[in-house]
Amino acid sequence: MFYREAGDFKTSYQQDNQTFPIRFDRYRYYVVLAVAFGVVPFLINDYWANAILVPFLIYAIAAIGLNILTGYCGQVSLGTGGFMAVGAYACYKLMTAFPEVSMFIHVILAGGITALVGVLFGLPSLRIKGFYLAVATLAAQFFLVWIFNRVPWFYNYSASGQISAPEREVFGILVTGPNAPSWAIYLFCLIFVTFAGILARNLTRGTVGRTWMAIRDMDIAAEIIGVNPLTAKLSAFAVSSFFVGISGALFFSVYLGAVEVGEAFGIQKSFLVLFMVIIGGLGSIFGSFAGAAFLVVLPVVLKVVGVDLMGWATDIVAHFQLVIVGALIIIFLILEPHGLAQLWRVAKEKLRLWPFPY
């Protein structure tokens, strides 16, 4: 009824190619953006920012990054945690070396450095595939964590081996450190998420994205029709690592403020982001957001419901969390292997026919 193409006439190629061809979708997108930028910053408090929204936004960037590599280009990676660590440590070194430079530049540069590292570790993907590549990226994960623990230069020779974010500003507003207002850190992350989302969406539906998908679907066939696997795979690694690096930089500087590489960027982080991508939906930008929201918000909701509303013991709730999240992952994999994004797609299809399905 509301959600349909009929009557929405496209008169130019540009209009025909837009991201949201359906008018309702387009308005929904603008409303979401308007609420996120115009309403939420006025309502947000420390709890919502630090416990829910900022981690969600940061994990969403990481999930978009991994989705480009795994979902669009078909290269399985277990090195996400390690690449996030590269972003975090690059950001830390830049923040401490050039304190007067805006955080925007630091975070983007940290993403760039991670992209270079990602390309380096992406080189084996030209020779090895599937599980073997997963093992190679696993090696990257362990190597990167080890090197950040081992080489004191990375953590500026601090006694504890931790890196902690000093206070840094963007246009005179603090975005890192404990005194940063919650609306500022939220908006700072939101800007990166928006930018990442738009960039990823447009990359994946253009030439670059099509070559990635060709490689994913059948690399030999792609080669025969003229896709260069070297540039396709390495560009996927570069773009993916760029996003993952940005998320790592934000994770360290804006969200946690002090980070210990083994704990924050260990193998469990790689798996967490991979789960987000799988639950959200491989090869979908929306899926990256849905997966991140699911795995960030669900534990908090379970805790609030279990401990605060029901008054159960904290350990029982923590155990239940593991059971419920684990069960949901299995249920999703069985009932909807394409993830939350597929549910969304099905819902949209249904909506198009509503109220007169045939």
Task: Give the interface with other proteins as residue ranges (CB under 8 A).
Answer: 45-47, 50-51, 55, 149, 159-162, 164, 166-167, 177-179, 255-260, 262-264, 266, 293, 297, 300-301, 303-305, 307-309, 313-315, 317-319, 322
Report in angstroms how near the CB of residue 263 gets to other proteins at its nearest: 6
Rounded (to 5) percent helix, strand, coil in the chain: 75, 0, 25
Report in angstroms how near the CB of residue 47 gets to other proteins at its nearest: 4
For residues 23 and 5, give the distance between their C-alpha atoms in angstroms, rounded to a whole number: 7
DSSP 8-class letter at 35: I
For residues 146 and 86, give the distance between their C-alpha atoms in angstroms, rounded to a whole number: 12
Are 96 and 157 in contact, with CB atoms under 8 Å apart?
no
Report in angstroms how near the CB of residue 154 gets to other proteins at its nearest: 14
In the complex with other proteins, the residue whose CB is nearer, 311 or 357, is 311
DSSP 168-180: -EETTEE-SSTTS
To which H or E segment does residue 209 belong?
A: helix 207-217
In the complex with other proteins, the residue whose CB is nearer, 227 or 296, is 296
Report in angstroms how near the CB of residue 355 gets to other proteins at its nearest: 22
For residues 90 and 117, give the distance between their C-alpha atoms in angstroms, rounded to a whole number: 11
Report in angstroms how near the CB of residue 87 gets to other proteins at its nearest: 17
In the complex with other proteins, the residue whose CB is nearer, 121 or 294, is 294
Report in angstroms how near the CB of residue 93 gets to other proteins at its nearest: 14
In the complex with other proteins, the residue whose CB is nearer, 132 or 146, is 146
Is residue 192 packed enough to be buried (19+ CB in 10 Å), middle (13-18) or exposed (0-12)? buried
Report in angstroms how near the CB of residue 347 gets to other proteins at its nearest: 12
Nearest to 187 by CA among 40, 324, 32, 85: 40
DSSP 8-class letter at 164: E
In the complex with other proteins, the residue whose CB is nearer, 55 or 111, is 55
For residues 133 and 29, give the distance between their C-alpha atoms in angstroms, rounded to a whole number: 37
In the complex with other proteins, the residue whose CB is nearer, 238 or 293, is 293
Residue with tokens 């929306």: 286
Report in angstroms how near the CB of residue 272 gets to other proteins at its nearest: 10
In the complex with other proteins, the residue whose CB is nearer, 210 or 345, is 345
Q: Which residues, at least 6 apart from 20, have a Cβ–Cβ distance to it below 8 Å?
A: 26, 28, 29
Are 175 and 187 in contact, with CB atoms under 8 Å apart?
no
**Dihedral sign from CA coordinates of 341, 343, 345, 347:** negative
Report in angstroms how near the CB of residue 28 gets to other proteins at its nearest: 14
> Helix axis angle, 285-303 relative to 267-280, nearest 10°?
110
For residues 125 and 147, give the distance between their C-alpha atoms in angstroms, rounded to a whole number: 22
In the complex with other proteins, the residue whose CB is nearer, 195 or 320, is 320
In the complex with other proteins, the residue whose CB is nearer, 225 or 309, is 309
